């Protein structure tokens, strides 16, 4: 397997360059292994890192789901629905919300590390590179925020 194909899928598009491909380690799909029912529609693309699936929902939460059995590890509430696809980097999960904020959430505990208000909904999927998280907002701006652990 080439070194540039990730086993995990920590953000939309798999890699910071959004290459959009991952490794096929089991020969292909074999049907549903589990099903997680969020409290609302899911438009967010999931991110997968360290055995956890992270996905946003219109139920106003970012969900952390065990990749093996589909049980919820934690949920983090925002002020409105989440259709932004999360990005995982280091010990943080970054996700935008319709409440107009970008959130950094502790990936193990599901607690808020920080929040940046943009003033308008954040539908964009964050990208993390070289210590900075980038995200677009409905206000017509792109935000660059330093990553902090």
If one counts the domains in the chain, the total is 1
The pTM of this model reads: 0.80
pLDDT value of position 72: 97
**Domain at 74, CATH number:** 2.40.128.630
Q: Tens digit of pLDDT for each residue in 47-106?
A: 999 999 999 999 999 999 999 999 999 999 999 999 999 999 999 999 999 999 999 999
Q: Tens digit of pLDDT for each residue in 111-139?
A: 999 999 998 999 999 999 999 999 999 99
- Asked if residue 56 lies in contact with residue 83, where contact means CB atoms within 8 angstroms, the answer is yes
Assigned domain for 65 exists? yes
Q: 66-72, long-range: CB within 8 Å, 24+ apart, which pairs?
A: 69/34, 70/33, 70/34, 70/35, 70/36, 71/36, 72/36
Q: Tokens for 147?
A: 């990553």
Assigned domain for 71 exists? yes
Assigned domain for 29 exists? no
pLDDT value of position 12: 59
Q: Which residue range(s) make up the domain with 101? A: 47-146
Q: Kindly calculate the radius of gyration of the chain based on its CA atoms and give it in whole angstroms.
A: 15
pLDDT value of position 121: 97
Count the Cβ atoms, other than its own, within 10 Å of residue 57: 21
């Amino acid at each position: 397997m080439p070194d540039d194909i990730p086993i995990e899928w920590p953000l939309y598009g798999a890699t910071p360059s959004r290459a959009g491909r991952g490794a096929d380690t089991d020969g292909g799909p074999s049907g549903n292994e589990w099903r997680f029912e969020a409290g609302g529609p899911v438009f967010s693309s999931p991110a997968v890192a360290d055995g956890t699936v992270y996905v946003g929902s219109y139920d106003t939460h970012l969900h952390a789901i065990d990749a093996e059995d589909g049980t919820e590890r934690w949920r983090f509430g925002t002020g409105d629905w989440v259709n932004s696809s999360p990005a995982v980097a280091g010990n943080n999960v970054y996700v935008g919300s319709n409440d107009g904020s970008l959130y950094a959430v502790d990936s193990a505990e599901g607690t808020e590390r920080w929040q940046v208000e943009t003033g308008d909904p954040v539908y964009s999927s964050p990208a993390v590179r070289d210590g900075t998280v980038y995200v677009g907002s409905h206000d017509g701006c792109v935000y660059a925020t330093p990553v902090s652990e």
